[in-house]
Amino acid sequence: MVKNIRDSGLNMPIDVVECRGSVRFRIYITGIVQGVGFRPFVYNTAILYGIKGWVMNDTNGVLIEAESSMDKMAIFLAAIENNPLPLAHIDAIKIETLDPLGEETFSIKTSNYARHKDTLISPDIATCEDCLKELFDENDRRYRYPFINCINCGPRFSITTDIPYDRENTTMREFEMCAECKREYEDYTNRRFHAQPIACPKCGPSLKLYDFRSECEVKTSNIYTFIANEIQKNKIIAIKGIGGYHLCLSAVSEKACTELRTRKRRYAKPLAVMVKDIETVKQICDLSEEEEAVLLSPEHPIVLLRKKEDSLIKIAFGVAFGSQYLGVMLPYTPLHHLLLSEVEMPLVMTSGNLSDEPIEYLDDEAKEHLCNIADFMLSHDRGIAIRVDDSVTHVIDHKPYFIRRSRGFAPRPIKLPFSVPQAILACGAELKSTFCLAKGEYAFLSHHLGDLENYKTYVSFSDAIKYYEYIFDVDPKIITYDLHPEYLSTKFAYEKAGVDPDPFSSSLPEQESYMRTTYPEQKGNGLLGVYHHHAHVASCMVDNNRFDKVIGFAFDGSGYGTDGSLWGSEVFIADFKSFQRLASLAPIPLLGGSQAVKEPWRIAAYHIHALYGDDAIPQQLSEMEVYKNNELVWPDVLSLTGSLHKVTMTTGMGRLFDAVSSLLCGVDKIDYEGQAAIELESIISTNEKSSYPLPAITDLPVKLDPTAIFACVLDDIFAKTDQSVISARFHNTIVQFILNMCIYIRQKYNLDTVALSGGVFQNRYLLDHTLNKLKQNSFKLLIHNKVPANDAGISLGQVAIAAHVI
């Protein structure tokens, strides 16, 4: 008889509740229960309460057979269910009654291997306090050993090559334990009991320092002092971490930051900073209790914090330029702690790669590809099974809000509020690429893979899918993808399915694109194309365990729409099966196609032309940077308006932000996605409450004229209104538009739950003020908290839609 006690407390099987003698249970435990000290915990708990039997890992989780009196078994099971382990997460406990065998001991058995695998893997976890104490204890045998770890910390996912999670299934299999490590590994009272990455200076991995200039290994008595001295000299060090290589340099040196940006070809995107401890964070940034908790969490992500203007520690301007925010993280490996104990300054820690390429994680390739960026390379011989970038988050509405979900969180599964009928592979979109595999009630959202725009990232994408399919034993029968025909993820879906590319697109006339959209009956090939912005809203719904219809806002730069144009300011009524488009910005042309995304002045030029036609450019405009910098090509770009039938149209909200930023901030060209909007947000006056006028909503659908908003911005510029005030008024106008739409839709359709998704909602000011306005008007709000609002969450939304459509 099997009973799920996760759903019903500790109710025992009926046939044993009244038993007065010994009982024996077979106990199945699923969740994140391998690599987190769960077997040692069960063992010690059994010894404490006099339970006999055994525990082992298997390919489904942890399996226990336990025997004792009914009273002791009840206490034992309660202790397991309420386990105090910091890294474990139990999803289900099922028990089956067996005949007692009269065992006299309790033991940990060798793991049981099987073809079918349902085990979950723990993410990589930051160094724990106990290991840190040992790291700096001169009397400890692991004193200053850069690979110290225990059952509560260290590498997990990044070293796993198979499951069950045992040493032979990790990259640590190359290192045979010495007698002392083996004793600790087998001692159930020890913190390293069955800690698979256990190592020490005698038997574990070791460091190696390579000088790219002299092309030889560096021999030094203190590697950390040597590196600290080189960082003081503005040198750049490639450092192998848990999931790949970082590029490390002084965060207080303008010269070092400039040199890095030149070599890495990362000219504008902000760089992350690592500091020694939380006290240093408080010196350079404002820090709330919630932000401090996220920084100190076992995951140790990068957290975006507001910079202090009066800090005595002067972070180089070139780290984040004019941004109000700084991406900060604490050291999360022993190597980081040792380095920062010597350097005594904030360090830039950015991904070890050329701009737009995947992070390097294989030693030979890192040496080849980073030799023209770094001066030195600090490596080691513990292998990395899969590359994993740092996670990035900030705190919104007192909770973490992901920008990037990766190290520390992946591959922790997302528990779905439904069960998928068949295994699904969702291929995601293009920017901020992730994929998602789903089976049963679990969705395995991949770590961050980067922008899927080049061959190297595509190879990383396809390799990671193979890895996840193998590790989690998923054989997808359904493959779902974004309907944009040119996305590499879309082409991958068709190639994997073995059919010729023929993405479904309804290509409705523009006016019909506002009708309710459903998905056609499938052809039996297991492929489903999903609309980009529907996937955004569905992702937010899954993130909040929401099933029924919502008012959905999907604001981003662009995504394929039902009419074949690029959408991006969509207001829907949606559930998992269908959506109805109720509002958007009126479409405008992208003059020059994708070039207009990279050169926001082109969008500004269109709006100016729409306002003034072929008349002479007003004197005030001719003196602005947006015109002067592009005066020679201005007429050629505007000539494209004469053949709009050949030009891609867009309703992207992100493009409106770009156009305004081009005027106010002089952003002619962007170096990374979202740059123009980020710079526009950075100049906001938080004291300005007014907004620009909006037309009254009298009927649906609404097509808001972006040029009218742009005209208000121009009027303020001509009136010499402060830029910070104009930026605030523009943002406040978008907030007011969202509120007006919500109020109208609530009155018409009796809906009051609002889902906010898409990359535009990573704008902190916009999201904060939208939440406040909607709360004041009694709306129920859904925002992302487990996955990012940007395109990294698309694949999760695709899973939800496919599960309900097919």
> Phi/psi class of residue 432: alpha, beta or left (left: φ > 0; alpha: ψ in -120 to 50)?
left
Helix 455-471 crosses helix 488-497 at what angle (to 10 degrees)?
50
DSSP 112: B
Helix residue ranges per DSSP H, 118-176:
129-135
Output the DSSP codes for 219-253.
P-S-HHHHHHHHHHTT--EEEE-SSSEEEEEESS-
Find the angle CA(721)-CA(568)-CA(355) to the nearest 5 degrees. Answer: 85
User: What per-residue confidence (pLDDT) applies to 523?
Assistant: 63
Output the DSSP codes for 191-224.
TTTT-TT---TTTS--EEEEETTTTEEPP-S-HH
User: What per-residue confidence (pLDDT) applies to 524?
Assistant: 67
User: What per-residue confidence (pLDDT) applies to 725?
Assistant: 97
User: What per-residue confidence (pLDDT) applies to 18?
Assistant: 45
State the Cα–Cα distance between residues 742 and 637, nearest whole angstrom: 37
CA atoms within 13 A on the CB side of 630: 24
Neighbours of 662 (CB within 10 A): 29
Residue type at 127? T
Q: How far is CA 703 from CA 570, 587, 611, 641, 744, in A?
A: 10, 8, 18, 20, 14
682: helix, strand or coil:
helix
Query: How far from each other are the two terminal CA atoms of the chain, in whole angstroms?
Result: 34
Residue type at 628? K
Q: What are the pLDDT digits (tens) for 100-120?
A: 999 999 998 887 766 556 677
Per the CB < 8 A criterion, the answer to whether 656 and 558 are in contact is no
317 burial via Cβ count (<10 Å: 0-12, 13-18, 19+): exposed
3-state helix, strand, coil in the chain (%, to 5): 35, 20, 40
User: What per-residue confidence (pLDDT) applies to 9?
Assistant: 42
State the Cα–Cα distance between residues 669 and 675, nearest whole angstrom: 9
Helix 653-665 crosses helix 723-749 at what angle (to 10 degrees)?
160
Token digits of residue 332? 């999360």
Helix 764-776 crosses helix 723-749 at what angle (to 10 degrees)?
40
Output the CA torsion sign for 713, 715, 716, 718. Answer: positive
Pick from 620, 629, 610, 625: which is nearest to 721 by CA? 620
User: What per-residue confidence (pLDDT) applies to 626?
Assistant: 76
State the Cα–Cα distance between residues 294 and 300, nearest whole angstrom: 7
Pick from 526, 538, 539, 448: which is nearest to 480 by CA? 526
User: What per-residue confidence (pLDDT) applies to 116?
Assistant: 58
Per the CB < 8 A criterion, the answer to whether 539 and 800 are in contact is yes
Contacts 24+ apart (CB under 8 A), 320-326: 320/270, 320/271, 321/268, 321/270, 322/679, 322/682, 322/683, 323/270, 323/678, 323/679, 323/682, 324/681, 324/682, 325/270, 325/394, 325/764, 326/270, 326/273, 326/284, 326/285
Pick from 514, 521, 513, 479: which is nearest to 496 by CA? 479
Q: How far is CA 628 from CA 162, 619, 622, 713, in A?
A: 59, 12, 7, 19
Residue type at 467? Y
User: What per-residue confidence (pLDDT) applies to 114?
Assistant: 60
User: What per-residue confidence (pLDDT) applies to 291?
Assistant: 97
Phi, psi dihedral angles at 520 (to 5 degrees): -70, 160
User: What per-residue confidence (pLDDT) applies to 89?
Assistant: 85
Neighbours of 344 (CB within 10 A): 10
| Stretches in the chain below the pLDDT threshold 70 | 1-20, 113-118, 502-513, 521-524, 615-616, 642-645
Q: Where are the beta strands (DSSP E) in 455-614?
A: 478-482, 516-518, 527-530, 550-560, 566-574, 578-585, 588-589
Token digits of residue 328? 């900060």
- pTM comes to 0.91
533: helix, strand or coil:
helix
